[in-house]
Amino acid sequence: MSILVGEEHTFCTGDVRGQVVMPVDENTCAVFYQKDDSGYPVYLLAATRDGTDLTLGSGVLVRSGNYQNNDNYSALGICQYDTDQVCVKFNDDTGPFGWLGLASISGTTVSLGDVEQYAQAGDDCYGDPATLTSGSRIFCSQREYSRVTNVTGTTIDSQTARFRTFWGSYAFHSIGVCDSGRVLIFARKNTPEGKTRNMTVVGDSMTNKTESNFVASPVDPYYLNVTPLHDAEEFVVTFVDQDDGYTGQIVHASRSGDTAAYGDIQIWNSGTVKCVSSVVYGDNNIDIVYIDTDDASKLKILQGTVSGTVFSFPDSPLVIHGGGTAFVHKAQLFNDRYCMVAYEDTDDSNYGKAVVVDLDPPLGTGSTFGTCDLVIGRPFAKFATSWNADGVRI
């Protein structure tokens, strides 16, 4: 395998906050973001991909006026709930309240549908919404509660009463949707510790099952991110341990009936990192995208593999963006090859930037766009080769 990093593209020529991305199909992606303007308005745009190149559409205003500065990691969220249709989630500043917005995507065109409040005061949501396996049904978890929203096209039909999922102070939720109406909610509890709620969702009815720890105190999981692995009954959980100097950590989680099981916690970066997320592709490949605050806040990607519940990261990370970076929420796959990352470029007026990474380019190809690393012909044996401008291996 080898990696090819495409050219950097600007999607917001202003101070951007909390951007998230969601591929709609293998060539189209939606970007949801907030501008640091008066009232902190939120926007949605679409981009199309040709190889690692992007064509960006214009940002469509979703909501404006007196809204929360969603620069908290995972305060903005997005999911795809039907073909060419996405749901965005954000908070306002008056309650705070949680809001949902629906939109359809065609090429680089965004058609906005319903935008409605879904959570009452104090129930602002942290974490992406999730699509249930039954389709056109959107699951949200906010602090101690959960709710299902039923939609048709870009119209919100109904919302269930809020259902209490946790007791205590919780934040940084990340949702794993299993088969057969099962949902796993991973969340940070302020004690601190990391909790998982195993629950069922059948129609509009929700039932709590077991609660367990994916990490126990004193581990304090920040920047929590959950990615499906294999058959959607297994998950990769990445986070930063605030209690251990913001080290990057990872754990394997799985579900069987009412029981959640976990592998051993592994440290993949013993330095100081933030804004971690992971992508899984092929049978056992996993890449972690993160900001390295020990190295001038550069945006990096670390390649590895998973076998059973054990992760292996034998190589050094690669640089995606060599300047200062902030607010990277998630990396997302277009398909089993191309990954998109959106971020704030703190060295360029905090503009919003995006880049596509080819995780499996033809052998012998590479890129020297911007400050990106050149990686050529890297097989599963996992070695990286870089070349200077004169074609000499370094």
Mean per-residue pLDDT for 279-286? Answer: 88
Q: Read off the pLDDT band of 71 (50, 70, 90).
A: low
316-343, pLDDT tens digit by residue? 999 999 999 988 877 888 888 899 999 9
Element (H, E) at 156: strand 155-159
Say which CATH number the domain at 343 has: 2.120.10.10
The CA angle 380-386-392, to the nearest 5 degrees, is: 130
Task: Please check whether residue 309 lies inside any domain of the structure.
Answer: no
* Separation of alpha carbons 185 and 29, rounded Å: 25
Q: Read off the pLDDT band of 3 (50, 70, 90).
A: confident
Report which of 98, 125, 112, 255 is spatially closest to residue 184, judged by C-alpha positions.
255
In a 3-state reduction of DSSP, which class is residue 183? Answer: strand
Q: Read off the pLDDT band of 13 (50, 70, 90).
A: very high
Task: Please check whether residue 197 lies inside any domain of the structure.
Answer: yes
The DSSP code sequence of 7-55 is --EEEESS-EEEEEEEEEETTEEEEEEEESSTT--EEEEEEEEETTEEE
Average pLDDT, the chain: 85
pTM for the structure as a whole: 0.89
User: What are the two backbone dihedrals, phi and then psi, of residue 159, each rounded to the nearest 5 degrees?
Assistant: -130, 140
Report which of 319, 318, 315, 321 is spatially closest to residue 379, judged by C-alpha positions.
315
Residue 217 has pLDDT above 60, yes or no: yes
Task: Please check whether residue 353 lies inside any domain of the structure.
Answer: yes
CB 26 within 8 A of CB 13: no
Q: Read off the pLDDT band of 178 (50, 70, 90).
A: confident
DSSP bridge pairs for 238: 225, 250
Query: Taking every pair of C-alpha atoms in the chain, what is the biggest distance, in angstroms?
Result: 64
Element (H, E) at 339: strand 338-345
Tokens of residue 311, six digits:
């992760």
CB 76 within 8 A of CB 69: no
In a 3-state reduction of DSSP, which class is residue 243? Answer: helix
Residue 215: its pLDDT value, please?
95
User: Which of 29-33, 264-268, 370-374 comes out lowest in average pLDDT?
Assistant: 370-374
193-215, pLDDT tens digit by residue? 999 999 999 888 999 999 999 99
Task: Please check whether residue 257 lies inside any domain of the structure.
Answer: no
Q: CA quadruple 379, 332, 16, 12: dihedral positive or negative?
A: positive
The DSSP code sequence of 199-210 is EEEETTEEEEEE
Number of independent structural domains in the chain: 1
Residue 232: its pLDDT value, please?
73
Residue span of the structural domain in which 336 resides? 10-217+326-358
Residue 286 has pLDDT above 90, yes or no: yes
Task: Please check whether residue 371 lies inside any domain of the structure.
Answer: no
Report which of 265, 262, 224, 219 is spatially closest to residue 241, judged by C-alpha positions.
219
Task: Please check whether residue 178 lies inside any domain of the structure.
Answer: yes
Residue 371: its pLDDT value, please?
37
Task: Please check whether residue 348 lies inside any domain of the structure.
Answer: yes
Q: CA quadruple 338, 333, 290, 19: dihedral positive or negative?
A: positive
CB 267 within 8 A of CB 321: no
Task: Please check whether residue 24 lies inside any domain of the structure.
Answer: yes
Mean per-residue pLDDT for 299-326? Answer: 94
Residue 365: its pLDDT value, please?
58
